[in-house]
Copies of this chain bind each other. A is one copy, B any other.
């Protein structure tokens, strides 16, 4: 039988935590327990200064000269190379720019063109919607009978037939945190002659990823979650070096041209990963993202992933120990190696409970129809935070504090 976990034990874990010092590298409101870094990462303390410098000195004073003097022109490649180090990619295999959605589109179309005799894009039922929506948009544009097939996670591997051009999977599921075995699924795709595209939005900066170790072909990921790049931060895109020069970006903008400043009419894609750039890079967004990425790189992915596993396990154990009466059904795998860095529970009153938690200073989030989701970001969440969050959850559930009409009115998002 498991020993009972105490608050003192959590304090001991914090005292022994080699990443504890990073808490002060983030600006978070006093008293708030922020368990939503998987949706919008917290603000690094260095970001306001860096953004102010980009705005006031680089833009305001250096003006147009900054494209060279402050190396704006290479920002997508420079920050891409830093992200590469976090996901097992080579420094010349990753670029930053556009949104995750737009990057998905580029690579879905590129993959369909690389497999002209195949028509299926295979993905998971209940994958993050934009993955499925971008497949929808891409196949409707490509035509030639291309279609999307979705399967439940358990039967995905078997569905990779010789007709499949591309397998597009989110490694860490945005609701359950269930993590797919990248190496095994990649091998299975290649066995069938398909390409594979990994969406790392809920993985990058949270768990150890080894794209090249797995032999992955393509990947995209989000800048504003675990990478702490700020709201709507630019996303990233990976193409394995062996595919460089062979894949084409449908979003063939001038920044992906071999000589963008020659201003010639004919499109000639750049060599290497730069051909997947499209328009002028979003400099403010990339500058903010770089601060977040630098912090993750400094802390080190291995240490970070280890603490993530530990935090998530503690959350699962504590909810079981303290809230067993509450009817919260764990939907995240117990086995640490099989999950990302968030923990989710199912409850029919999920939305109202999340509102009550926010009122009590614990920010998690809700995913329709009934998922309570808590993200554990090792750089600014500590073990005592987990204890405290569970205590507040316990009180809310015990006192039915969620049972208020105003907590049931979902904010209209239009």
Contact = CB atoms under 8 A, between A and B. Distances in A.
Contact of A64 (B281, B284, B363): B363
A151 to B, nearest CB: 12
A142 B113 CA distance: 11
B64 A365 contact: yes
A234 B126 CA distance: 30
B51 A368 contact: no
Interface of A: 27-29, 32, 34, 36, 39-40, 42-43, 47-48, 51-52, 54-56, 58-61, 63-68, 72-74, 98-102, 105, 109, 125-130, 132-134, 136-138, 140-144, 150, 224, 230-235, 248-257, 260-265, 267, 274, 278-286, 288, 358, 363, 365, 367-368, 411, 413-414
A136 B252 CA distance: 7
A141 B109 contact: yes
A248 B59 CA distance: 36
B138 A250 contact: yes
B263 A368 contact: yes
A152 to B, nearest CB: 12
22 contacts: A27-B56, A42-B60, A42-B63, A43-B56, A43-B60, A54-B231, A59-B230, A67-B413, A68-B413, A72-B231, A99-B278, A102-B102, A129-B257, A132-B265, A133-B253, A134-B252, A142-B143, A150-B265, A232-B281, A233-B282, A235-B279, A263-B368
